[in-house]
A and B are shown apart, each in its own frame.
Chain A
């Protein structure tokens, strides 16, 4: 079940978008999100939409796969849509008893929904085309200027790397423990909420113990491999901007420029 969620998943590929430097992709995604909140009319959204469509086409990630990522947030989008539609006052279009739909309400509702959909697709495109580990490297590199004001950029990135590495291990461990307790007659599915919460104890206690054991072993292994934090550390795959990254950045800047221009001019 957990495996069905595509939001935040990586879709292996070898496209132009996949090969871009993670720093470029992270910055572009952030700017794109900001631009979505700058835009305020149909033409603007059309430009933002076309831009996204082009990136999707180039990335070769199947549209079906991307849309599946929208499923879990569909409820939130519908909810915002309805709230906006009914709550905003203005020129009345339809009146259903105490509920009224106004022109302004409808407009805001549609814009908000489109904005959310574009935002979610845009940001999931980042994770779909970037390996978690490169994403971590990208974040570390982008945050490193803030080290001067005491932000532990390297430590944060190392934590993310380790979390990524051990999520599958801990899921496997959970599965094993659940099965073992089920074999001892544990029942996780029936009873009221208190009973069910209580039934989790036989899973959580061994799981925590496992997690601590892993942490202890891993700390020892990292120390044995001369890990001493960020001092004098080098990277095998140092990130280097290539010509493709500059071209993409240039195109993207023009694109953002268009959106801003559209907003100012019209």
Chain B
């Protein structure tokens, strides 16, 4: 498959306000994101995962190293608008990213900024709202909606820019279980339609659904691989203060009790199949 994002030896440092010491938030990280893939980035708070996300669409630019999106280098200022149009972003707090007091006007904000023709904006907005199942709420005020609904509006706002990739920066961290599952199912649907997804999360069951997981710790990339490979390293994950999905947790506990459970069990479905065979 074709590489869509290439990150090469990315280093990002920022200067701390008070004592002018520079802090290295990302330390020599390299990986690629293939076109149409679903990549999850996990790591505890302060591991650099959010900083990484902001480096991908040029909200932050590398201190050294390179981020190349669809052949465009983020360090080149002339590329910024092209990159942001290709890589949209959805943030953690559903309230703080909605600009307008009417749902459909907010979804139109991105395409309006891109100078898209009004008739075309209308088409994109309607399509995006249908896609996240919020079309019936298009005339509502965002503050009357639930967290999960607001987050779906934010996603529609990203989709309406017709990007090739969407970076989700902990989109479910502030939602209740219902909101979480709504948002995750929208993310999976977008991915099936061909949008490249980069999901930053600390929920392991969400990460388990990705094609590839990248584990960050203290600015370093610690593990990279398919979910089955990554969750096999449960001890390593625990040492990084991370969890494993419930089925993996149970598999480990059963092995401790001398029960032979095959590798590669990630979901509860897998586990039930395996035990009842």
Asked if A and B bind, the verdict is yes
- Residues in A lying within 8 Å of B, measured CB to CB: 131-133, 161-162, 164-165, 168-169, 172, 213-214, 217-218, 220-228, 232-238
CB neighbours of B99 from chain A (8 A)? 161-162, 165, 218, 221-222, 225
CB neighbours of A236 from chain B (8 A)? 104-105, 108, 111-112, 118, 121-122, 125
* B10 touches A (CB below 8 Å): no
* B173 touches A (CB below 8 Å): no
- Residues in B lying within 8 Å of A, measured CB to CB: 54, 57, 59, 81, 84-85, 88-89, 91, 93, 95-102, 104-105, 108-118, 121-122, 125, 141-143, 154, 157-158, 161
Residue in B96, B111, B125, B142 whose beta carbon sits within 8 Å of that of A221 in the complex: B96
CA distance A169 to B150 in the complex (A): 13
10 tightest CB-CB pairs across the interface, nearest first? A217-B96, A221-B97, A232-B115, A236-B108, A168-B143, A225-B110, A224-B89, A236-B121, A226-B113, A165-B101
Are A169 and B143 in contact, CB atoms less than 8 angstroms apart? Answer: yes
List 25 contacting pairs A-B, 8 Å CB cutoff, sorted by A. A133-B102, A161-B99, A169-B143, A213-B96, A217-B93, A218-B99, A221-B154, A222-B99, A223-B59, A223-B84, A224-B84, A225-B84, A225-B158, A226-B85, A226-B113, A227-B109, A232-B115, A234-B116, A234-B118, A234-B121, A235-B108, A235-B118, A236-B105, A236-B118, A236-B122
Return B85 CB to nearest CB of chain A, in Å.
6
CA distance A132 to B102 in the complex (A): 10
CB neighbours of B113 from chain A (8 A)? 225-228, 233
Given contacts A226-B110, A227-B113, contact A238 B102 (CB under 8 A): no
Q: Beyond A221-B91, A226-B84, list 19 extra A-B contacts (CB 8 Å).
A: A133-B102, A162-B99, A165-B100, A168-B143, A169-B143, A217-B93, A222-B109, A223-B84, A224-B59, A225-B88, A225-B110, A225-B157, A226-B110, A226-B114, A227-B109, A228-B113, A234-B111, A234-B116, A235-B118
Return B119 CB to nearest CB of chain A, in Å.
9
* Pair count A-B, CB < 8 A: 97
* CB nearest neighbor in A for B104: A236
CB neighbours of B108 from chain A (8 A)? 235-236
Are A225 and B143 in contact, CB atoms less than 8 angstroms apart? Answer: no
CB neighbours of A238 from chain B (8 A)? 118
Are A214 and B95 in contact, CB atoms less than 8 angstroms apart? Answer: yes
Are B161 and A133 in contact, CB atoms less than 8 angstroms apart? Answer: no
CA distance A169 to B95 in the complex (A): 8
Are A234 and B117 in contact, CB atoms less than 8 angstroms apart? Answer: yes
Given contacts A228-B81, A233-B113, A236-B111, contact A220 B98 (CB under 8 A): no
CB neighbours of A220 from chain B (8 A)? 54, 59, 91
CB neighbours of B122 from chain A (8 A)? 236
Are B96 and A233 in contact, CB atoms less than 8 angstroms apart? Answer: no
CA distance A237 to B105 in the complex (A): 9
Are B57 and A161 in contact, CB atoms less than 8 angstroms apart? Answer: no
Given contacts A217-B96, A220-B59, A236-B122, contact A168 B109 (CB under 8 A): no
CB neighbours of B104 from chain A (8 A)? 236
Return A235 CB to nearest CB of chain B, in Å.
6
Return B22 CB to nearest CB of chain A, in Å.
21
* CB nearest neighbor in B for A164: B101
Are B141 and A226 in contact, CB atoms less than 8 angstroms apart? Answer: no
CB neighbours of B121 from chain A (8 A)? 234, 236
* CB nearest neighbor in B for A168: B143
Return B208 CB to nearest CB of chain A, in Å.
27
CB neighbours of A131 from chain B (8 A)? 102
- Of A131, A165, A168, A223, the most chain B CB neighbours within 10 A belong to A165
CA distance A13 to B97 in the complex (A): 29
CA distance A168 to B100 in the complex (A): 12
CB neighbours of B95 from chain A (8 A)? 169, 214
Are A161 and B91 in contact, CB atoms less than 8 angstroms apart? Answer: no
CA distance A169 to B99 in the complex (A): 12
CB neighbours of B85 from chain A (8 A)? 226
Are B96 and A165 in contact, CB atoms less than 8 angstroms apart? Answer: no
CB neighbours of B110 from chain A (8 A)? 225-226
Residue in A132, A162, A218, A233 whose beta carbon sits within 8 Å of that of B112 in the complex: A233
CA distance A201 to B91 in the complex (A): 30
CB neighbours of A237 from chain B (8 A)? 105, 118
CA distance A240 to B104 in the complex (A): 19
* CB nearest neighbor in A for B124: A236
Are B96 and A234 in contact, CB atoms less than 8 angstroms apart? Answer: no
Return B147 CB to nearest CB of chain A, in Å.
13
* CB nearest neighbor in B for A214: B96
Given contacts A169-B95, A218-B97, contact A226 B81 (CB under 8 A): yes
